[in-house]
Chain A
Amino acid sequence: AQKVTQAQTEISVVEKEDVTLDCVYETRDTTYYLFWYKQPPSGELVFLIRRNSFDEQNEISGRYSWNFQKSTSSFNFTITASQVVDSAVYFCALSETNQGGKLIFGQGTELSVKP
């Protein structure tokens, strides 16, 4: 069965600190996709990244970076030099190719960045 676990419910940091959000997943599929979404206070889920199971290269996009490790079934997300605008709930999600493209979400990590 597929499952996504985000063990950190809430994280609070001070602006300019680096912060890592953890994501651990479970799947029996060999082909799957992992996602991160941001949900700011306005409520709309915003896509951040999609990674397939065959691509373990880390990715960097500006202040955001993602570390995918199949050996530990983890797909962690790091924000460097955090800013107040990064305050939001972040969701990790899993999609298995034989499941029609639906996403299974973790419970989310609420990040609060204080000035």
Chain B
Amino acid sequence: DTGVSQDPRHKITKRGQNVTFRCDPISEHNRLYWYRQTLGQGPEFLTYFQNEAQLEKSRLLSDRFSAERPKGSFSTLEIQRTEQGDSAMYLCASSLVKAGELFFGEGSRLTVL
């Protein structure tokens, strides 16, 4: 399978715990995006990388959130001290060129109890 893969697919955690999601983009894609989607809403942009450089962060990305893309390959999104409002689907996407088609993974669903 050469699509975007995300892990884990589901995560249930208690409030206050830290969680980390991983995204493996399509191998030749140099752009990687993180989105968050809550029930009944469209995906909301969180941050994106071009290669290993994080070029933009949304104001939605509080200081409890951090994303990395070491060596410009896979990426991780960490949420520290989770809150119930963090419960959502976290989507990763990659693309080959700017303004090109984004290929999405199946998402990582987070439930914070």
Contacts and interface: CB of A to CB of B under 8 A. Distances in A.
Interface of A: 4, 32-33, 35, 37, 42-45, 47, 50, 91, 93, 95, 97, 99-108
B48 A45 contact: no
Contacts, number: 64
Interface of B: 31, 33, 40-45, 48, 50, 55-56, 89, 91, 93, 95, 97-107
Contacts of A45: 43, 91, 93, 104
Contacts of B97: 101
A99 B41 CA distance: 21
9 contacts: A95-B99, A97-B99, A100-B98, A101-B97, A101-B98, A102-B56, A103-B102, A105-B43, A106-B42
Given A43-B89, A44-B105, A102-B48, A33 B41 contact: no
B55 A100 contact: yes
Contact of B50 (A32, A33, A50, A100): A100
B111 to A, nearest CB: 15
A95 B101 CA distance: 10
Given A97-B99, A107-B42, 9 more contacts: A32-B99, A91-B43, A95-B99, A100-B50, A100-B98, A103-B45, A105-B43, A106-B42, A108-B40
Contacts of B102: 35, 47, 101, 103
